[in-house]
């Protein structure tokens, strides 16, 4: 059992510093089960950890991470659907109140999508997965925004909006949203600055989130 030393050291820090503060919470969660109010759909990217960005405690966030924070449209079949299974569990069993799709800057998945159009030998999995982005790319181009490999921000943000639309293809999500029991929200994290924006459905833009405590330093 040779875990990388960095991880062993990190676990030691967890035991020394965080676990004493969280142990009571862990015990209660173990006894009563988890009841998170928010589900986050985020990217696998090592720089975009939802628990870090939202300073979350154990039991607070139900997190699914995949390449480029995507959700395939509702399509029940005999195939194995990891994202849809997590959604079903979070929405139908845990009854989360919010599903937040969090995109981010410098996304390798989005860059792969922009690059693969010119690549003759697609990989085994990534290019096929990233084809989920095609509707967002088409919508951008139709709106007069040509795709640029050197500036993926528009597509990174459009993919969040598209994923929110894909979520509404799940009948048990759509019915809860219509009933006011579930909210679908979009967010975008800038890796270089640590700033978070939230999608505004009215203006259809991402607006910086001003956290109350740190609003003064967010300008």
Binding site for Zn ion (CB under 5 A): 43, 45, 107, 109
Nearest distance, CB of residue 3 and Zn ion, angstroms: 25
In the complex with Zn ion, the residue whose CB is nearer, 101 or 182, is 101
Report the nearest approach of Zn ion to the CB of residue 128 (Å): 17
Supply the DSSP string of 140-189, one letter for each residue.
HHHTT----TT-THHHHHHHHHHHHHHHTTSHHHHHHHHTTS-EEEEEEE
DSSP 46: T
Nearer to Zn ion, 50 or 109 (CB): 109
- What minimum distance in Å lies between the beta carbon of 107 and Zn ion? 3
What is the smallest separation between the CB atom of 202 and Zn ion, expressed in angstroms?
27
**Which is nearest to 94 in space by CA: 13, 34, 139?**
34
Nearer Cβ to Zn ion, position 38 or 105?
105
Contact 130, 69 (CB under 8 A): no
Number of residues assigned to the chain: 219
Q: At what angle do helices 153-167 and 108-116 cross, to 10 degrees?
A: 100
Q: Closer to Zn ion by CB, 182 or 188: give it.
A: 188
Structure tokens at 149: 């490999």
Report CA 41 to chain centroid distance, whole Å. 3
Dihedral (CA of 138, 158, 90, 178) sign: negative
Shortest distance in whole angstroms from residue 209 CB to Zn ion: 19
When the beta carbons of 112 and 173 are compared against Zn ion, the nearer one is 112
């Amino acid at each position: 059992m040779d875990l990388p030393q960095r991880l062993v050291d990190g676990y030691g820090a967890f035991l020394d510093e965080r676990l004493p503060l969280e142990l009571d919470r862990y015990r209660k969660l173990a006894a009563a089960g988890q009841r998170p109010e928010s589900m986050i759909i985020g990217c696998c990217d090592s720089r975009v950890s939802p628990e870090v960005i939202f300073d979350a405690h154990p039991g607070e966030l139900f997190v699914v991470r995949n390449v480029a924070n995507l959700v395939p449209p509702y399509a029940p079949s005999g195939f194995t659907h990891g994202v849809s299974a997590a959604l079903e569990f979070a929405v139908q069993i845990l009854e989360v109140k919010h599903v937040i799709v969090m995109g981010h800057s410098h996304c390798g998945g989005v860059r792969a999508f922009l690059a693969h159009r010119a690549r003759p030998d697609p990989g085994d999995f990534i290019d096929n997965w990233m084809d989920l982005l095609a509707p967002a790319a088409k919508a951008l181009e139709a709106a007069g925004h040509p795709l640029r490999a050197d500036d993926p921000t528009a597509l990174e943000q459009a993919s969040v909006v598209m994923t929110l639309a894909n979520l509404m293809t799940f009948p048990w999500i759509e019915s809860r949203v219509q009933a006011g029991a579930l909210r679908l929200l979009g967010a975008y994290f800038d890796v270089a600055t640590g700033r978070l924006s939230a999608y505004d459905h009215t203006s259809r833009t991402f607006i910086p989130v001003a956290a109350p405590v740190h609003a003064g330093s967010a300008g």
